[in-house]
Structure 1
Amino acid sequence: MTRLLIIPFLLIATSAFAQGGNTSANQSACSRDVSRFCRAKMNDGDMVVLSCLKENRSKLSKACAKVLAENNQ
């Protein structure tokens, strides 16, 4: 469960998110996708998870893809 807390930190790394945003909504939007596609990389750091999400962009939920797009990822 604590592994899913990586999402807010992942998104904080983007400048758009650092300027404002709803951490809880962003976490909810991508937590399932991280668990599904990037589980093996969850302990490798935020940027590795972000890279994994980008690699799996075509498979992401619409909500997570939207969060990435809104944060210029």
Structure 2
Amino acid sequence: MARQFVLATITLAALSSLSSAPAFAQGHMGTPKEQKACSRDASRFCRKELGNDMAVQGCLQANRAKLSRACSKVFESHGM
């Protein structure tokens, strides 16, 4: 459960670069490097799920074989 929360936070942080600045103020965090690593993949594969971090996480996991190397490494670094 804790890993899912961490990954959801990272995923949402990655997506926050696609949304407005107030998303950061709402506690969506992650390193800038992690955000950059997955934002393009989230936009490409999970556009209709944007705004629902758990759905985006599931979408990215479902598209794991198609993810960029950088985004895949984010998932791997969190044991996913």
Common fold by TM > 0.5: yes
Q: TM-score, normalised by structure 1?
A: 0.70
User: How many residue pairs end up in the alignment?
Assistant: 59
Dislocated runs of 4+, deviation >3 Å: none
Structure 2 counterpart of 1:70: 77
Match for 1:27: what amino acid? Q
Match for 2:38: what amino acid? C
Structure 1 counterpart of 2:65: 58
Unaligned segments of structure 1, at least 5 residues? 13-21
> Could you tell me which of 30, 33, 39 is aligned with 2:41?
33
Q: TM-score, normalised by structure 2?
A: 0.64
Match for 1:64: what amino acid? C
The alignment yields a C-alpha RMSD, in angstroms, of 2.4
Match for 2:55: what amino acid? V
Unaligned segments of structure 2, at least 5 residues? 1-17
Percent identity (aligned): 44
Match for 1:63: what amino acid? A
